[in-house]
Amino acid sequence: MHGAVAPEAEDEYHDDVFPNVDAPDDGTPWQAPADLEEHLYELCEADDGYTYLRAIAITGLYRPVSVADIEPGATDRPVLTVELPDGRRIAQMYTVGLLPRPHPEVVYEFVTLGTLAAELPDDIDILVVNAATPCQQFYLTTEEERDVWADLHADHYVDGRLHDRIDTRRTGAPESPVLLHGLACGAHLCFANGDAWNTLDWHGAGHNSEVERLAEWWGVHSREDWLGTQERLLSREVSPWYWDFVLGARTSLIEQFGPRVDAELWRQCVEVTIRNRMAESGGPESAHKPGDDPELDDFVAALRGLVGKVIRYESRFRADDLLPPDGHVRTVAAWDIGRASKMARWGRGARYASHAELERAIERASREARSSYTSWEEFSAGYVLGRCLHFDEEQFGDWYTTVLQAHRELVSDPDSPWLTVPFA
């Protein structure tokens, strides 16, 4: 596997290598884990295999892969199959809501119906979707059937189509309020990626995609890299320290003079404080007055400019109801905390983290959020400001508008974690 595997993996063996879900034996309807599986269950009950295919053409599937086939040096990831007594071979695929808790010997990879049409080996005779669940469906893999798959894929699959939405699992969520709160801290990113926010059985976009995501966006290529990045996020050391330094200067002025802080007074407070700190760290001979140190002068100018940038962002936030009319952002801690919540899950999906490490990181994200904020709305404003300072450069482009959409949905949709999980 990519990088070192989580050392606690040996303690994580369990019987649910593949999904195994029984239908109710009392005649009541099955409680599906999510909307997709409920829809597929209804189609199975109606014996509508074609519409079932169309649904999975939209969403894609996940196929199990033996961990032995993704070890370093492995050049292929063969499809796991089961041979029937008559010699026919079955390949099993699953929808995301039915994927089990990660197992040390198997990972799941995302695959589209179009890819299956083109690449499913010819010696596989039957495709079963969601085997051993109430919404299982069987398909022959003939040439004619594959043509149907290919056509449905071409007509209905759009990469990213299921992003920008709230997805809440109806079954299998953790019961711990702390874990649910910590998972809800990652709601912005769950919304953006269309991920279920309330599951610890994390497979993400598939094992290989989770590995690639961490490598491309975070420079994480191993368990050791993940451990370091996770710790720095939870310790709020990824975002530049001076963002909260500038915000903290305003908080100090508010405590002294009240909520309306003059912008120039704020800038002066930032400059005097940073120059005094530099003088103290350099000894009494280092006065660090303007003109004494060009590098410090440039840094002070940047911090004074950051004051204006924050003021302009907050003005836009108020106009967009992201902040109340008299509101402001006290800290951007949420930017690191929110990403830490998802980093824990990404690390699990890449198998750099054990289940226990995932839970500990999620619980710690919850504690950090509650120590910094008093509400989901306040948390969200801090997250959005951090994202904008990181990416947006006062363009108010996609880096802002997309997370604003997430905020609006998360504070209003009845299915949102922020309306079902108390912040305090």
Higher-confidence residue: 284 or 67?
67
- Domain-terminating residue out of 287, 319, 351: 319
Q: What angle do CA 113, 173, 56 make, to 5 degrees?
A: 10
Predicted TM-score (pTM) above 0.85: yes
In this predicted structure, the answer to whether residue 2 has a pLDDT above a threshold of 90 is no
Q: How many CB atoms lie within 10 A of CB 148?
A: 17
Task: Please report whether residue 163 resides in a domain.
Answer: no
Q: What is the mean pLDDT of residues 158-171?
A: 97
d(CA 269, CA 274): 8
Mean pLDDT on 403-411: 98
pLDDT, one tens digit per residue, over 340-354 is: 999 999 999 999 999
Residues 379 and 342 in one domain: yes
Of 319, 348, 377, which marks where a domain is finished? 319
Q: What is the 3-state secondary structure (H, E, C) of the chain?
A: CCCCCCHHHHHHCCCCCCCCCCCCCCCCCCCCCCHHHHHHHHHHHCCCHHHHHHHHHHHCEEEEEEHHHHCCCCCCCCCCEEECCCCCEEEEEECHHHCCCCECCEEEEEECHHHHHHHCCCCCCEEEECCCCCCCEEEECCHHHHHHHHHHHHHHCCCCCCCCCCECCCCCCCCCHHHHHHHHCCHHHHHHHCCECCCCCCCCCEHHHHHHHHHHHHCCCCHHHHHHHHHHHHCCCCCCHHHHHHHHHHHHHHHHHCCCCCHHHHHHHHHHHHHHHHHHHHCCCCCCCCCCCHHHHHHHHHHHHHHHHHHHHHHHHHHCCCCCCCCCCCCCHHHHHHHHHHHHHHHHHCCCCCHHHHHHHHHHHHHHHHHHCCCHHHHHHHHHHHHHHHHHCCCCCHHHHHHHHHHHHHCCCCCCHHHHCCCC
Same domain membership, residue 191 and residue 297: no
Q: Quick one: 71 and 27 in the same domain?
A: yes
- Same domain, yes or no: 78 and 196: no
Confidence at residue 239, expressed as pLDDT on a 0 to 100 scale: 97
Judge whether 169 lies within some domain: no
Mean pLDDT value of segment 237-265? 96
pLDDT at 210: 97
The yes-or-no verdict on residue 363 having pLDDT over 70 is yes
110 and 222 both lie in a single domain: no
- Shared domain for 56 and 112, answered yes or no, is yes
> Which pLDDT band holds residue 284 (cuts at 50, 70, 90)?
very low
CA 142 to CA 292: how far, in whole Å?
Answer: 79
- Whether 356 and 366 share a structural domain: yes
Q: How confident is the model at residue 12 (pLDDT cuts 50, 70, 90)?
A: confident
pLDDT tens digits, residue range 182-230? 999 999 999 999 999 999 999 999 999 999 999 999 999 999 999 999 9
324 occurs within a structural domain: no
d(CA 422, CA 424): 6
Same-domain pairing of 254 and 131: no
Q: Does a structural domain hold residue 359?
A: yes
Same domain, 345 and 284: no
298 inside domain: yes
Model pLDDT for residues 293-327, shown as the tens digit of each residue? 889 999 999 999 999 999 999 999 999 999 999 99
212 assigned to some structural domain: yes
Taking the C-alpha atoms of residue 96 and residue 238, their distance in angstroms, rounded to an integer, is: 31
Specify whether 206 is located in the same domain as 151.
Answer: no
Of the pLDDT bands very low, low, confident and very high (cuts 50, 70, 90), residue 76 is: confident
Residues 189 and 132 placed together within one structural domain of the fold? no
Whether 296 is covered by a domain: the verdict is yes
Among residues 286, 319, 352, which one ends one of the domains?
Answer: 319
The residue segments making up the domain with residue 206 are 177-239+333-420
Are 227 and 348 contained in the same domain?
yes
Give pLDDT, residue 9: 60
pLDDT for position 247: 98
Distance CA 79, CA 66 (A): 9
Domain count, the chain: 3
Cβ proximity of 191 and 166 under 8 Å: yes
pLDDT band at residue 1 using 50, 70 and 90 as cut-offs: low
> Does position 74 have pLDDT exceeding 80, yes or no?
no
State yes or no: pLDDT of 278 exceeds 90.
no
Please, what is the average pLDDT of the chain? 94
In a domain, 165, yes or no: no
